[in-house]
Chain A
Amino acid sequence: MDMNEKEKIEAQPAGEVKSELPDTKEGRLVKDLLERAPYAEGSVRRERRVEFKVPPERIHEFLELASEKFEMLMQISTVDWIKEGEFELVYQLWSVSESVHAFVRTRVPRENAKLPTVMDIWPVAETYEREAHEFFGIIFEGNPRLGPFILEPREYEKHPLRKDFNTLGHVKALYGEDFDRYDESKTNYVI
């Protein structure tokens, strides 16, 4: 199995990807969706796994189209690519009728990350967006319940799952400087 498949697809221009789609149920699904949404890029990853890349300003429009075939939104996974200065949001969709899982990827800049909510398409997105907001600080416009959810109110606005969150500094600030379970002078911790 070729693990660098994703990078190859990124290097190709969008026009060529369409012609390479295999004649399977996954290939037809991607082709149908790309014809109606030409701004997106799509590919078939393997059996029962397809992938789309969508610009962030058209994500709501694309997901509304996709929701006709993909009935369930399983999760919104956020990845902090700190070197590129971007958040990648992966909308994990599942199609009950076709038995296909789709990754819908979009990238937003890390500073003042904003996206439209998809609560109107899938009400369950409310929970996923609250989680992404709390742990990464992404603002979903239109979601009325953004705020402290899983974390304590004093930990809110710290966004602990960002890559630049200082775990040790936070623990020291919380429990005092004499917190000595971790010795900074030791470099070779064996976990």
Chain B
Amino acid sequence: MANVEVPRELKAEAKQHDMYLHPIDKDTYELFFGPQHMATENFSIILKMDGNRIEKAIVNPGFLHRGFEKLAEHRPYFTNIALILRICVPESDVPENIYSMAVDEIVGWEVPDRAIWIRNVVLEMARVAGWMFWIMGFGNEIGLYTAGQWAAAYRERFMRLYEELTGGRVYHIYTVPGGVRRDIPGDRWLRQLRDTVEYIKGKLKDFDEILFDNYITFERTEGVGVMDKRFALKHAVTGPNLRAVGVPYDVRKDDPYYLYDQLDFEVPVLKEGDSLARTLVRRYELEQDLYILEQLLDMGPPSGPYMVQDARLKALPRFKPPKGDAYAHVESTKGDFGAYIVSDGSHKPYRAHFRGPSQSHGVTVLEELLKGARIADVPVILKTLDNCPPDIDR
């Protein structure tokens, strides 16, 4: 296409908003959306715009690539925990758990009951904290800042509980192959967790009034970014995004791990497939997760060791699992998070490969859903897909 001069006032406006306009012809231009934009979180989309409508979107990830999979091949099995949990920032327990589950399967360890209970509680806490993080982002994107600030404050309660349990607020380095690193601090911690669950349960009504049952939310999300069932399955859409198109697939029900086959919970399913359905599915799941945490607390931690009893664990840096490979996956708030670990019998993993849900949500699905959308819908589609760029880059 011929180079057409961009009008001077448009150039000035672009400079003011820190955007770069690349003219293609008179009405079409290229817009670099992110990585500075708040909604994109460390990745960028190159949008080919026709006025206010998006003609074509090209996802441009790679700003967060730190080579974790290569580094994991150079470190012993237990040291890797401190590395691979950085793959998922808002829910760092998820990569820890799938890595540990896969190594447990390769070694053939029966993880003790107490460790399984603690791991399950930690994962559910990560889910509720993850929902709070998501409400924070989503509320901010559609202009309902109050809900976002509340959610950030409630997430802080979980951060404190994590700090007491693991020593870390965001990155916990807690779940290791064979069990967990420390025992529960005591009954006081369990009481605090129950209080927190009760507290957030009481706040659900407020969230409904200000965010989920809000006229603004409906106006911004209804009919935006619609996908159907066939499209979702072909594009490996998982998690709440898949349940919003009417497929009741949940790893906790269909491939149960830990104590989920003994717990009583529902899998909320809607069939509209637009941004509103994705938002509401997440709202119902938050309620179910609080219910699961209550059941786990009623169950109480079983007595016994919190780490598997194995003589090989005395020489931890030289710990060698047998040859083999395993795939483990869990349900994170973003979708199906999986890890494929290959062992060649040495003290380092031969290959560690991770499957983040955003590898499909954030690349091909996003590119398809953005076609024909308005520029104001981009943050809404991004946030309702719950795209997490470190999954793609790793």
Residues of A within 8 A of B (CB): 1, 3-4, 6-7, 48-49, 71-75, 77-80, 90, 92, 94, 96, 99, 101, 103, 122-124, 126-128, 131, 149-152, 160-161, 165, 167, 190-191
CB distance from B82 to the nearest CB of A (A): 10
CB distance from A119 to the nearest CB of B (A): 10
Closest to A155 in B: B65
Contact call A123/B234, Cβ cutoff below 8 A: yes
Closest to B230 in A: A71
Is B132 among interface residues, defined by CB-CB distance under 8 A?
no
Is B342 among interface residues, defined by CB-CB distance under 8 A?
yes
Closest to B67 in A: A160
Contact pick for B359, options A3, A103, A128, A161, CB 8 Å: A128
CB distance from B88 to the nearest CB of A (A): 15
Contact call A167/B70, Cβ cutoff below 8 A: yes
* Also in contact, A191 and B76, with CB within 8 A (given A77-B353, A79-B351): yes
A190 to B317, CA, bound (A): 9
* Also in contact, A92 and B338, with CB within 8 A (given A3-B324, A75-B355): yes
Contact call A149/B338, Cβ cutoff below 8 A: no
A131 to B234, CA, bound (A): 18
CB distance from B270 to the nearest CB of A (A): 17
Contacts of A165 in B (CB 8 A): 70
Contacts of A90 in B (CB 8 A): 340
Contacts of A103 in B (CB 8 A): 327
A170 to B302, CA, bound (A): 50
Contacts of B76 in A (CB 8 A): 191
* Also in contact, A4 and B323, with CB within 8 A (given A79-B342, A90-B340, A123-B364): yes
Closest to A101 in B: B327
Show 29 residue pairs from A and B whose CB-CB distance is below 8 angstroms, ordered by the A residue: A1-B108, A3-B107, A3-B322, A4-B323, A72-B236, A74-B236, A74-B329, A74-B336, A74-B338, A75-B338, A75-B340, A75-B355, A75-B359, A77-B340, A77-B353, A92-B327, A96-B233, A96-B249, A99-B254, A99-B255, A101-B329, A122-B234, A127-B364, A149-B62, A151-B62, A160-B70, A167-B70, A191-B74, A191-B76
A126 to B329, CA, bound (A): 22
Contacts of B327 in A (CB 8 A): 49, 92, 101, 103
- Total interface residues on B, CB under 8 Å, equals 45
Closest to B393 in A: A150
Contacts of A3 in B (CB 8 A): 106-108, 322-324
**Given contact pairs A3-B323, A79-B342, A92-B327, a sample of 13 additional A-B residue pairs in the complex whose CB atoms are under 8 Å apart:** A1-B108, A3-B322, A49-B327, A71-B233, A72-B236, A77-B340, A77-B353, A80-B351, A92-B340, A123-B364, A127-B359, A127-B363, A167-B70
Q: Can you list, as one digit per residue, whether each of B252-270 has a CB less than 8 Å from chain A (1) or not (0)?
A: 0011000000000000000
CB distance from B46 to the nearest CB of A (A): 13
Is B247 among interface residues, defined by CB-CB distance under 8 A?
yes
Is B276 among interface residues, defined by CB-CB distance under 8 A?
no
CB distance from B76 to the nearest CB of A (A): 7
Closest to A100 in B: B255
Contact call A72/B233, Cβ cutoff below 8 A: yes
* Also in contact, A124 and B323, with CB within 8 A (given A79-B350, A152-B62, A161-B69): no
Contacts of A4 in B (CB 8 A): 322-324
